[in-house]
Amino acid sequence: MRWLEHETFFFHHARGEGQRQRIVGRQRGYHGVGFGGLSAAGMGPHKKQFSMLLPGAVHLPHTHDPARNALSLGQPRHGAELADALEQMIATYDASTIAAVIVEPVAGSTGVLVPPVGYLEQLRDLCSRHGILLIFDEVVTGFGRLGRPFAADRFGVIPDLLMVAKGMTNGAVPMGGVIASSVIYNTVTGKAASGAVELSHGYTYSGDPLAAAAGLASLDVYVSEGLFERAARLEPHWQTCAHSLKSLPGVVDIRNLGLLAGIELGGDPVSGKAMARKVYEHCFEHGVLVRPVANTIVLSPPLTIGENEVETIFATIEAALKAD
């Protein structure tokens, strides 16, 4: 996924701040397995095969705080102050060395971590005050997953760069993209050597016509079938059904927002992982596909799902948790 080279580094270079090279990611973040993404990501097991990734990447703490926030309905109340870690990094490294902060607004692959109320606003504020770009990786949250086009709309926090993929083509054909603010676009294109490609995106598969057609068709369906609104309408039912599992054996936390949910299992990571695997297998045998991520069952259904199907998913998980 392209977000580092032109959009971030060239932007700073073009405005005379090329020394801004440091990327701030977040623990438990996931941004794919390219060098930029792996460097910014905070998933230890993915990184340990590499002794050195991009130098200078540093990481904010993750926002998972079950002691204060377990079983929150939607956004948890506690933890906005975790964004203050960025202030400490600025004090340590100086803002003039920091290019960008990249986060998933709701962290998906790590087990659905919903941002605490006020947290993203605080990151936005700090980035704006210090000339640091804020990047939202909306590969999971984009295109209606949270009942709005993007998480940026849902939270009312506008990043400088926004990464998209998956829902862009409904996953039917591979396509990803980076949406840049007009400030970045104008700065980069204004400084590009005359005759040069503006935002450089000359990959072999850039602008693939099949993917572009799938993307346009997906956008049409999102609008004509009102799928983002549908996700928003279904969210309360989704939330109620998800949280109906809270007293079942082994359930330690349930997190949800939009049509996303994470059900964390087990008292410790090892037993939780084994339980998640067992739930996955039971569900699979009963026709329901769930995703076990370490000790958490991650759910991210198609936006076309109906109320009955929502009930089936959670009833099947309930049966799995009750099964010996």
Ligand X SMILES: Cc1ncc(COP(=O)(O)O)c(C=O)c1O
Q: Which of 104, 160, 253, 264 binds ligand X (CB under 6 A)?
A: 104
Q: What is the CA radius of gyration of the chain?
A: 20
Q: Which of 133, 139, 162, 283 binds ligand X (CB under 6 A)?
A: 139
> What are the structure tokens assigned to 153, written together?
């709309």
Q: Does 142 bind ligand X (CB under 6 A)?
A: no
CB closest to ligand X, residue no: 32
Q: Does 32 bind ligand X (CB under 6 A)?
A: yes
Please tell me the distance from the alpha carbon of residue 183 to that of residue 166, in angstroms, as a whole number. Answer: 26
For 55, phi then psi, to 5°, come to: -70, 150
Q: Which stretch binds ligand X (CB under 6 A): 89-97, 102-110, 178-186, 235-243?
A: 102-110
Q: Which stretch binds ligand X (CB under 6 A): 26-34, 110-118, 193-201, 278-286?
A: 26-34
Q: Which stretch binds ligand X (CB under 6 A): 25-33, 68-76, 95-103, 218-226?
A: 25-33
Q: Which of 39, 109, 169, 316 binds ligand X (CB under 6 A)?
A: 109
Give the residue among 115, 108, 70 at the shortest CA–CA distance from 246: 70
Nearer to ligand X among residue 27 and residue 187 (C-beta)? 27
The footprint of ligand X on this chain (CB under 6 A) covers a number of residues equal to 12
> Closest distance between ligand X and the C-beta of residue 166, in Å?
7
> What are the structure tokens assigned to 255, written together?
């997190």
Q: Does 1 bind ligand X (CB under 6 A)?
A: yes
Q: Does 140 bind ligand X (CB under 6 A)?
A: yes
Nearer to ligand X among residue 86 and residue 298 (C-beta)? 298
List contacts with ligand X (CB under 6 A).
1, 30-32, 104, 108-109, 137, 139-140, 165, 176
